[in-house]
Amino acid sequence: MGDIRSSECSGSPASSPKISVSPSPIAAIKYARQAEKLSLVAPDNDSNGPGTAVAADYITPQDPVIITGDGGRLPGVSLAEATKLNTLRAGTQGGMQDMNDSRDPADNAALEAGLRSRSLHRKAAIETSEEGSLRRAMPPSRTHPLFPPLPLYGPPSFIRDAQCYTFRISSFFLSLAFLGIIVLGSAVTGIPLLFRYVWLRITLRDPDAGRPFYEEEKRRKKSRKEANRSWKKQSSRKYFRTRMDDDNEDEAGWGSFVPTEGGPDPLVCDVGYYARRVGLDVEELKVQTEDGFIITLWHVYDPLEYTPMSTSERAARGPDVFTGTGPYRPSRPSRSKQKPKFPILMIHGLLQSGGAYCVNDDDSLAFYLCKSGYDVWIGNNRCGFHPEHTRLSYSDPRMWSWNIRQMGVMDLPALTSRVLSETGFEKLGLIAHSQGTTETLVALAKEQRPDLGEKLTVFCALAPAAYAGPLIGKAYFKFMRVIPPAFFRLIFGIHAFIPFMMTMHRILPGWLYAALGYRVFAFLFNWSDARWDRGLRARMFQFSPVYVSAESMRWWLGRECFAKQKCILATREEGHQEDAEDAEEEMEDYYRRTRKSQEVDDGTNGHRSREVQKKHERRPKGSTAWYNAQTPPFALWVAGKDDLVDGRRLLRRFERGREPHIRVVHSKVIDEYEHLDVIWAIDSIEKVGREVRDVLWKTCDVRERVRVPMGCEGVTPWVDDRRMVRGEKEEDQSSSS
């Protein structure tokens, strides 16, 4: 990694001296060829050079992006290709000076200054980190099996375009065939359920009588009908409200939220519409990532006390993050004279959008937290419903050359930086579900982007996806795991993953799409709607699926990455070793307990204890740690019946001391919950939402500056013992000096 850093600095025009000696013609030719491989368009078709690759900028020591002649950004390439570009650039500085002179001086100065400032900023961040010297001395070998290099696609050419069309044609038919098999499988497995339903109806019995919240669902359904009738009668649309959960502890605080939408639900893919049904509203911002993607950020607010931004204020800014500069509005005009709300950012799961947090009326986690007194921002990952990039088009394969690593290293910091910029706070609380927890765990790693941790007061992980569950062994997932990467791309393409699903989402009626979507996803992921409000189930599938890259799905299900390693924090071999160590420790604990009840010890326990001690001496617990002291506190809610991921193993990793810098401030295993119940169950606010609300306030570091959320008046602040000890040591040192 030290070599990479030095090549970056030497490759940057600002950090290399200008030489008057003409560069070697061979070096110039090599540089031109390397730049051509990484350019937006072929240099022969780029007369002024705006689309020609100029240099590689390292977002992290392992994540370079390409800078074009006009300062544009292209998605990253492998370390070898980026290093080669910067090394050749350093050897042709004179030629580069001539080429720069042919461009606009303002563009050239901006490019030079941007590369210099980013290089110095990231170099300083690494050197000041706790493991800086170790990271410069050792390459991050453990992450390589988990994140193999992405394919390299050059600028448009006849051969590349022919390759793209070939993959698009083959994937259209083969992926549809795969999807057809999945739909057929879900239909076949649904036949027994259909017969059971018909039989219960014929025998005059209610098929839903055995559901866990049967009476509550009936009451809510009746309440919604009454609310719809009341809305129709309101000629002037005055305030009305029918509370569905009269026993909610926060009922007294809801009176000021006046719905501005109502009536029967038309099933629309619009978060703002569902917010207005509960007296809130949503504004949409655009955020630019450091590799040029434009992603969507939703801000949930109370229209009675917040003034929305203008169109220009909501436009994309970037691409730099965490610079401490740039426009922001810490005192946004407000109709309320109360203190500002503490900001929180919410990240969604795989194949979903942020709308998953907004489909259960007042029991939606996003709306609940907003009404409780938090400033709620909902982030969406790249592509989403509308794929957008500053330079690339939908048909360009480079638009889709990304996976979970880029979402964590690029998307999450960009969203976090924008929220902090808009609110004026130094930190925020982060809530993530499923894949959102994965990208956060990837980003916070000491070898990825640990500085993100210094911007978070707490990381609330709902159904954390770090270890694979038993579902990974199903036949259709095994098929995707055993096929080679070339065959995977032949079936699923090199662009979006089965985009036909998005086409069906647009053309099918909402109720029909939701019914099909539920059956297919229930078949794939082995969950049910037993604990959901079935009357709102159709809404839940209006915000999924979204566009994701085929490379991203290959990372999850292909033969090289998560499906093989079954963990993002350890390789498969390390995982087996962890299991063996845990078994040894459990056995040692058992012998230690039984030894206390025995009067005579035959020596076996002592021998076993020495063997365990030797193993621990060979491999200290923190030797495979992913995180350093910059990591924020963690809070975890694990679904006990989750077959998709295994949250209990993640808890064990923390409890066994394999991550000595992780401080778990709250953990809970909800035995009866499935993967999506943590956000969609009828009682999710009671079992998850209120605890999330309290943990956010408990870890808030600016409690005196912000308003107290409703229900948190008696919540005591959490004390970071490690920082307290560190502070005491600093005081002792200063007093002794």
Cis peptide leading into residue 319 (ω within 30°)? yes
Helices (H), 493-571: 500-507, 510-525, 537-540, 550-557, 562-565
Assess contact for 305 and 334: CB atoms under 8 A. yes
Rounded Cα–Cα distance for residues 629 and 646 (Å)? 25
pLDDT of residue 644: 93
CA dist 697 to 666, 709, 724, Å? 13, 8, 19
- Which residue is it, tokens 């497995």? 189
- Least Cα distance to 23 among 112, 102, 96, 83 occurs for 96
pLDDT of 231 reads 83
- Quote the tokens at residue 584: 């040894």
* Tokens, residue 432: 């993530």
Q: Is 550 helix (H, G, I), strand (E, B) or coil?
A: helix
171/487 Cα distance (integer angstroms): 10
Strand order in the sheet with 63-68: 53-60, 63-68, 73-74
> Quick count: other Cβ atoms within 10 Å of Cβ 326?
12
Radius of gyration of the chain (CA): 27
Place of tokens 């940057």: 12
Residue 624: per-residue pLDDT: 81
**Three-state SS across 81-148?**
HHHHHHHHHHCCHHHHHHHHHCCCHHHHHHHHHHHHHHHHHHHHHHHHCCCHHHHHHCCCHHHCCCCC
For 655, the 3-state DSSP assignment is helix
Assess contact for 549 and 497: CB atoms under 8 A.
yes
Tally Cβ neighbours within 10 Å of residue 69.
26
Instruction: Please tell me the distance from the alpha carbon of residue 358 to that of residue 272, in angstroms, as a whole number.
Output: 9
- With tokens 């800078």, the residue in question is 67
Cα(92)–Cα(107) distance, integer angstroms: 20
pLDDT at 318: 77
pLDDT along the chain (737 residues), means of 10: 36 39 73 91 79 91 90 89 90 54 50 53 45 37 68 91 94 94 90 90 89 94 88 59 44 65 90 95 96 97 92 89 59 66 97 95 97 97 95 95 95 96 95 97 93 96 95 86 90 94 92 92 90 94 94 90 88 80 75 63 50 52 84 97 94 91 96 96 97 97 94 88 47 43
621, two tokens: 């617990």
Question: Given the structure tokens 């560069």, which residue do they identify?
Answer: 23
In whole angstroms, give the CA distance from residue 264 to residue 535: 12
Dihedral over alpha carbons 683, 684, 685, 687 (to 10 degrees): 90
SS3 64: strand
3-state secondary structure 448-489: CCHHHHHHEEEEEEECCCCEECHHHHCHHHHHHHHCCHHHHH
What is the rounded CA–CA span in Å between residue 646 and residue 127? 35
Q: What is the pLDDT of residue 392?
A: 95
Contact between 194 and 512 under an 8 Å Cβ cutoff? The reply is no
448 neighbors 626 (Cβ within 8 angstroms): no
| C-alpha dihedral sign at 14, 15, 16, 18 | positive
Classify residue 369 as exposed, middle or buried by CB count within 10 Å of its CB (0-12, 13-18, 19+): buried
